[in-house]
Amino acid sequence: MLETHEGLASYYGPGLEGKVTASGATFDKNSMVAAHPSYPFGTLVRVTNLANGRAVIVRVVDRGPAKAAQNEGVLIDLSSGAARNLGFTPTGRTKVKLEVLRWGQ
């Protein structure tokens, strides 16, 4: 059974291009990756923008969002490439549905 959640997504990337993520992967702001506070690294998640129906599949490679953002309801930080595909870069955040497709190690 899929695990699903609804909440906010934000995106990160400025200034982090080429840096090492918590999983040890090199961050590429244009790749379909994300930061989640607890999902195992390598977990594949379908993220659907509830405002426009667009969806992407991302791989969890980092930890985040920051505690303050989590307290505001942000469930996941996406790469700027994923956010662009979902169509919310102008606003910075959007309401999303997360569906775990495959758990990481």
Share of the chain above pLDDT 70, in %: 99
Residue 105 pLDDT > 90: no
Check whether 15 has a pLDDT greater than 90: no
Query: How far apart are the C-alpha atoms of 95 and 23, rounded to whole Å?
Result: 26
Burial (Cβ within 10 Å: 0-12, 13-18, ≥19) of residue 34? buried
Inter-residue contact 100 to 92 (CB < 8 Å): no
Residue 16 phi, psi dihedral angles, 5° rounding = -110, -5
Tokens 């999983």 found at: 23
pLDDT of res. 2:
76
pLDDT tier at 14, thresholds 50, 70, 90: confident
pLDDT of residue 12: 87
How does residue 89 score in pLDDT terms, banded at 50, 70 and 90? very high
Average pLDDT over residues 64-88: 96
Q: Which two tokens stand for residue 90?
A: 């102008």
